[in-house]
Amino acid sequence: MGLAEVLGRTARRSDSTLRYGEGIEHVVELWWPDSGPVTSTVVVLHGGFWAAEYDRAHIRPLCAELARHGHLTAALEYHRVGQDRGGWPGTFADIANGLDALPALTGGLVKDDRTVLLGHSAGGHLALWAASRHRLPPGSPGRDETPLRAKGVVSLAGVCDLAEAYRLDLDGGAVGRLLGAGPASFPDRYHAADPARLLPLDARCVLIHGDKDDRVPLEISERFHRLATAHGDDVTLTRLAGADHFELIDPDAPAFAAVLDALRTVLAHDR
């Protein structure tokens, strides 16, 4: 599956669009469960290497299908590299502010112990980072004494290790564009932005990655899995044979079964 096919997909419209700030991208789209009360929330963070040209549109089919399977699903938008508020530190502040606003925006339906952060590609990085906010250094964007503490994270082909992704030059320098340069130039930024440097996560984590991914190599998730396990985290790596980068967000692909299973695993976890 290619990028053009993913971007060309359509899905049922969200049930509501809410604002969590004044910026043009400070919005969150909600899909309510098709039936029954709200018992779980999945906050979806889209990928696109943090670049302005890729917004939440391509993740809507996945969001709609997650709602059909009983989850209140929230697609959280954020300012991206190439926009005035994007990159460091605005992208990170957006994620933090949007997450912390969700309980009030939903009338208290979003609760820490029933919320899963799910991110694809660069969104996987942001989901893992958001779950690590309790470990952020003082003064870091997104630091809060009482952040929304999700029950766990599902990372789909996530950019889990920014320093390694910078070394591999993913997307021709995407990490450098996000943070301004490499780790040698901005060590403090990497310490505050890289999930691999904020371990232990202290939350259930499932990493899903296809072994045919040509955009974010499987070794990125494998490396994060080793680091998180060494720190004592409860983390699982699911390798999908034959799956590429975009199949993981295709609700019609076999990979979707692994996504649903990961959500069940995280929500059933007793932390």
Confidence (pLDDT) at 2: 64
Confidence (pLDDT) at 116: 98
Confidence (pLDDT) at 37: 85
pLDDT tens, position by position, 208-239: 999 999 999 999 999 999 999 999 999 999 99
What is d(CA 175, CA 50) in angstroms, rounded to the nearest whole number? 9
Closest C-alpha among 71, 90, 109, 70 to residue 24:
90
Residue 96 and residue 129 in contact, taking contact as beta carbons nearer than 8 Å: no
Q: Is 231 exposed, middle or buried (0-12, 13-18, 19+ CB in 10 A)?
A: middle
Confidence (pLDDT) at 189: 97
- How wide is the angle at C-alpha 99 spanned by C-alphas 84 and 246, nearest 5°? 75
pLDDT tens, position by position, 96-151: 999 999 999 999 999 988 999 999 999 999 999 999 999 999 999 998 877 888 99
Q: Does residue 1 have a pLDDT over 70?
A: no
Between residues 12 and 261, the one the model is more confident about:
261
Residue 200 and residue 156 in contact, taking contact as beta carbons nearer than 8 Å: no
Residue 61 and residue 9 in contact, taking contact as beta carbons nearer than 8 Å: yes
Identify how many contiguous H helices and E strands the chain contains and give both numbers. Answer: 9, 8
Cβ of 241: how many Cβ atoms within 10 Å? 7
pLDDT tens, position by position, 16-72: 999 999 999 999 999 999 877 888 999 999 999 999 999 999 999 999 999 999 999
The first and second tokens of residue 161, run together, are 């290790």
Backbone angles phi, psi at 33, to 5 degrees: -55, 145
What single string gives the DSSP state of each residue in 45-113?
A: E--STTBTT--GGGGHHHHHHHHHTT-EEEEE----BTBTT-STTHHHHHHHHHHHHHHHHTTT---GG
Helix (H, G, I), strand (E, B) or coil at 244: coil
Q: What percent of the chain has pLDDT over 70?
A: 97
Confidence (pLDDT) at 271: 58
Residues facing residue 210 across a β-bridge = 240
Q: Does residue 5 have a pLDDT over 90?
A: no
Residue 36 and residue 70 in contact, taking contact as beta carbons nearer than 8 Å: yes
Residue 117 and residue 207 in contact, taking contact as beta carbons nearer than 8 Å: no
pLDDT tens, position by position, 180-208: 999 999 999 999 999 999 999 999 999 99
> At a CB cut-off of 8 Å and minimum separation 6, what does 43 contact?
74, 76, 99, 102, 115, 116, 117, 118, 127, 150
Cβ of 32: how many Cβ atoms within 10 Å? 15
What single string gives the DSSP state of each residue in 177-236?
A: HHHSS-TTT-HHHHHHH-GGGS----SEEEEEEETT-SSS-HHHHHHHHHHHHHTT--EE
Mean pLDDT over all residues of the chain? Answer: 94
Closest C-alpha among 203, 201, 204 to residue 236:
204
- Strands 27-31, 16-19: parallel, antiparallel or unpaired by DSSP? antiparallel
pLDDT tens, position by position, 51-60: 999 999 999 9
Q: Is 83 exposed, middle or buried (0-12, 13-18, 19+ CB in 10 A)?
A: middle
